[in-house]
Amino acid sequence: MDIKAPRGVRDILPDESWRWAYVLDVTAKTMADFGHSEIHLPIFEQTELFSRGVGDTTDIVEKEMYSFTDRGGRGITLRPEATAGMVRSAVEHGLCAQGAASRLWCWGPMFRYERPQKGRYRQFFQIDVETLGLAGAVADIEVIALSAEIFRRLGLKNLEVVLNSVGCPKCRPIYREKLLAHFLTNKDKLCKDCLLRLDRNPLRLLDCKEPGCGAVADAAPAIYDCLCDECAAHFEDVQNGLNTLGFRYKLDKRLVRGLDYYTKTAYEILSGDLGAQNAVCGGGRYDNLSESVGGPHLPGVGFAAGVDRILLVMEEQRCSFGKSLKKEVYVVAQDDTPAVRNAALSLTHKLRMEGIPVEQDAGDALGKKRSAKAQMKSADNAGVAWACIVSQDEAQKIVVVMKNMTTGEQTTVQPEEVARRVKEA
């Protein structure tokens, strides 16, 4: 076939999808333990939500969004991230009305037109967590602890938590001026992109990956001296809380994240097992996002973790994915008589109703029934515990030969006995 999946987009095939289900199961349980309720959000939103929310000087909005005009002439964008949609939804449905707090989570595909490489795709999956309506540091600590707990339960090792504060609209402009002055004196060492971003958003220069810019950014002043009293106290409270919980983290003055809506806390969790795209999770506080998209004041803090990358790290570190969903039984029809075929069909269905995973012969691509020998071969290939061979005895009664595929032992039983014996084994 000439038609392939578009560049940067992957199929998650059956031998991988059960691992995804495991990650999401563990995630859902952890969310419940931390009091977060699941929410399902649309995959596309009005473009304005992202251009105003994420910020139009960000890479995401400038170059990575899948935007189009729908047949009704509306500007639509496939969501590049979930936070803006979460805030939109909470405001639209009054989830935080009268000062209530909302702890939410969702997961699903996000879309960014990025250069594909290992761990970076154009459609990728995020687990997204948001706590809305709480301004205090406890909410930040809970969110960071929740992300770390999901990774702990999944068995991820050697992760590094990096933490920073990006200030607020009161103190960030002061830092912005200091930074701008620093970068202007080192203008000749900056890359093309950074020169373009210099006036509009000098903070973004801090996370440029170009070595020349990196050296200039390393020598740049840290934000800590510029933080206002409120941001400084919040930053200290977050660190104290993490210390109380015994979390190890590193302060990184260059951590600014690629989205403009962050205020105060910014953090990432990194893995050394991912290569260049080393962040499994990123998040922070965004107290002004709601207002920037036309909503009321609604403080928030959250994170997004990349499911594709979590899976990459788990595979690299040989983490357990629980039990794969294996078929237990293969039902074989000994011959092609209607009585035997119907009995095989019924046995298969009854076992499935008992919650036993079963496969049966359903003919071939031409609709032809297959011989008992060919069916036994399929049972072998399927790696099942039991082959149940359905036949008629001399008295025309339906009987089932249960073959233990590990030991080769065979027992003849009545069809009604099969489920009990499989469960007891």
> What are the residues binding ligand AMP (CB under 6 A)?
81, 112, 114, 119-121, 124, 126, 258, 279-282, 304-306, 308-309
Length of the chain: 425
When the beta carbons of 205 and 422 are compared against ligand AMP, the nearer one is: 205
Q: How far is the CB of 264 from ligand AMP (least distance, A)?
A: 16
Which amino acid type is present at position 327? K
Q: How far is the CB of 284 from ligand AMP (least distance, A)?
A: 9
When the beta carbons of 36 and 122 are compared against ligand AMP, the nearer one is: 122
Among left, alpha and beta (phi > 0; psi -120 to 50; other), residue 279 is: beta
The answer to whether 332 and 388 have CB atoms below 8 angstroms apart is yes
When the beta carbons of 123 and 404 are compared against ligand AMP, the nearer one is: 123
The answer to whether 256 and 214 have CB atoms below 8 angstroms apart is no
Q: Which residue is nearest to ligand AMP (CB)?
A: 306
The answer to whether 313 and 371 have CB atoms below 8 angstroms apart is no
| Ordered alpha helix ranges (H), 219-335 | 229-244, 289-292, 307-316
When the beta carbons of 133 and 282 are compared against ligand AMP, the nearer one is: 282
Cα–Cα distances in angstroms (integers) from residue 307 to residues 26, 54, 107, 136, 283, in the given order: 12, 21, 9, 28, 15
Q: How far is the CB of 297 from ligand AMP (least distance, A)?
A: 23
Q: How far is the CB of 306 from ligand AMP (least distance, A)?
A: 2
Q: How far is the CB of 224 from ligand AMP (least distance, A)?
A: 23
When the beta carbons of 281 and 329 are compared against ligand AMP, the nearer one is: 281
Q: How far is the CB of 204 from ligand AMP (least distance, A)?
A: 13
Beta-bridge mates of residue 284: 266, 302
Tokens of 28: 């859902």
When the beta carbons of 270 and 376 are compared against ligand AMP, the nearer one is: 270
